Amino acid sequence: MFSHVDIRSMDVLGWLSDSAARVRSDGADGARESLRPAYHKGLQGLSRLRPPGTPIYDRDWDLLVVVDACRLDLMREVAPGYGFVDEVRAVRSLDSMTLQWMRRNFVPEYGAEMAETAYVCGNPFSAEALDADEFRALDEVWRYVWEDPGTVPPRAITDRTVAAAREHDPDRIVAHYMQPHCPFLSRPEMTRGKRLDRFGDQEWEDVWQKLRAGRVGREEVWAGYRENLELAMDDVELLLANVDADRAVITSDHGNALGEWFVYGHPPGMPMDCLRVVPWIETTAVDRGTHEPTTEAESGTETDRAAQLAALGYV
């Protein structure tokens, strides 16, 4: 299976060797799988013809809640169940994958803003993209909270964000929830979670590959995807009642493709709106003291990052 890195910079000789082996083993299916990275690379070229997106620091917010891998239409479907959501606007993200989204948003141009930002992060790509010295505080929750079926549960992000707000009183806070990104907590049987030591690659199929192959149905995947977002939004509601922020925003780093342009999941650099146009919800937050965090940061924790990334199905 090809990882996101393979799509970005393909080893031609390695690709030819792998392709020949796939064709011998799987025939036409193997040929289609081998052509997929080249097709994705062509789509990346089309991204230059589309609007680039707006950096998060060019927008107004005190608290930025990132619900990872959330499509705009999914959020609009779920939003009526939450009283703190008045309107779900659409904005264009800087990329279609978290690693590149981080690398393009957290850059030296915004160094002054980053120095006053506390970032509570559930996504292991922070190890590659973020430098703790550049933030007021960087709490990489994935390093010490990683639970079956292979993800960071919403409550850990809520707890650590409330703690960061009360302890550090930063000018800005980013709370990066892993949901609705797969694996789906309500349907762990649908796909194995990624291992941190193989976050960019793994040997088993993730939910998007199963959908592409027809081994799960779109309605079943959408139901799990929606339930994962609802679990995140339930905790976001708790968060908004336990931090102070005049300008609280709920958004996403990217969406997910469910077959649009024959793409599944969220490869990097894609031009499609289902991956690049994300929700933007403006609300407020007031610390009413209704919740006391129980999740504690663990210093010096050894983590198997590749296993965590594999658990999240990055292929």
Q: Where do we find the tokens 């796939």?
A: 22
Q: Nearest-CA neighbor of 182 among 220, 128, 234?
A: 220
Q: What average pLDDT does the segment 204-219 reach?
A: 90
The region of weakest confidence among 26-30, 66-70, 101-105 is 26-30
Give the confidence band of 52 by pLDDT, cuts at 50, 70, 90: confident
Give the confidence band of 191 by pLDDT, cuts at 50, 70, 90: confident
Taken in order of first residue, the domains within the chain and their CATH numbers are 1-49 (no CATH), 53-311 (3.40.720)
pLDDT of residue 19: 46
Contact residues for 280 (Cβ-Cβ < 8 A; gap 6+): 59, 88, 89, 90, 91, 249, 250, 251
Predicted TM-score of the model (pTM): 0.86
Q: Nearest-CA neighbor of 150 among 176, 189, 120, 121?
A: 189
Confidence check: pLDDT of 13 > 70: no
The region of weakest confidence among 181-190, 194-203, 276-285 is 194-203
Q: What is the rounded distance in angstroms from the CA atom of residue 44 to the CA atom of residue 54?
A: 18
Say if residue 217 is exposed, middle or buried (CB neighbours under 10 Å; 0-12, 13-18, 19+). Answer: exposed
Give the confidence band of 4 by pLDDT, cuts at 50, 70, 90: very low
Contact residues for 45 (Cβ-Cβ < 8 A; gap 6+): none
Confidence check: pLDDT of 124 > 90: yes
Say how many residues make up the chain: 315
263-296: b or e for each residue (b if 16 or more CB lie within 10 Å)? bbbbbbbbbbbbbbbbbbbbbebeeeeebebebe
Average pLDDT of the chain, as a whole number:
87
